[in-house]
């Protein structure tokens, strides 16, 4: 139990240390990831900053090759990581909804 508490404390202190990221740095990270996820060349993708804070872009919108997604910044001990935060249009996150007869 002490070990879990220590890990939690270390994690909380690590989460407070944020290295600022410029839009260009964030754009390059997102383009690499989106290009792979979309199966689309990076030069066919557009990136738009949707929101930011003192550490740089928080949400980035990416579009191209008939796809769109929003990427959100996750601050890690190794720096900022951008993850796809978009639910695919074919996914039903709640489950199937049955309508009456």
Domain presence at residue 67: yes
3-state SS, residue 23 = helix
pLDDT per residue of the chain (101 residues) written in tens, 0 to 9: 444 443 333 444 445 567 899 999 999 999 999 999 999 999 999 999 999 999 999 999 999 999 999 999 999 888 899 999 998 766 555 555 555 56
Name the helix (H) or strand (E) containing 33. helix 23-38
Domain presence at residue 71: yes
Given this model, what pLDDT does residue 25 score? 94
Strand ranges across the sheet with 46-53: 46-53, 56-64, 67-76, 79-84
- Domain of residue 68, residue span: 19-84
Residue 74 sits at the vertex; the CA angle it makes with 71 and 79, to the nearest 5 degrees, is: 120
pTM (whole model) above 0.85: no
Residues 6+ apart with CB under 8 A from 22: 56
Domain presence at residue 53: yes
Given this model, what pLDDT does residue 95 score? 58
Domain presence at residue 8: no
Domain presence at residue 96: no
């Amino acid at each position: 139990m002490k070990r879990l508490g220590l890990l939690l404390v270390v994690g909380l202190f690590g989460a407070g240390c944020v290295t600022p990221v410029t839009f260009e740095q964030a754009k390059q990270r997102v383009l690499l990831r989106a290009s792979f996820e979309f199966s689309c060349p990076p030069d066919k993708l557009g990136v738009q900053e949707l929101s930011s804070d003192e550490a740089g872009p928080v949400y980035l919108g990416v579009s191209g090759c008939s796809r769109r997604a929003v990427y959100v910044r996750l601050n890690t001990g190794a720096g900022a990581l951008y993850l796809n935060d978009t639910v695919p249009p074919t996914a039903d996150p709640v489950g199937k909804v049955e309508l009456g007869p």
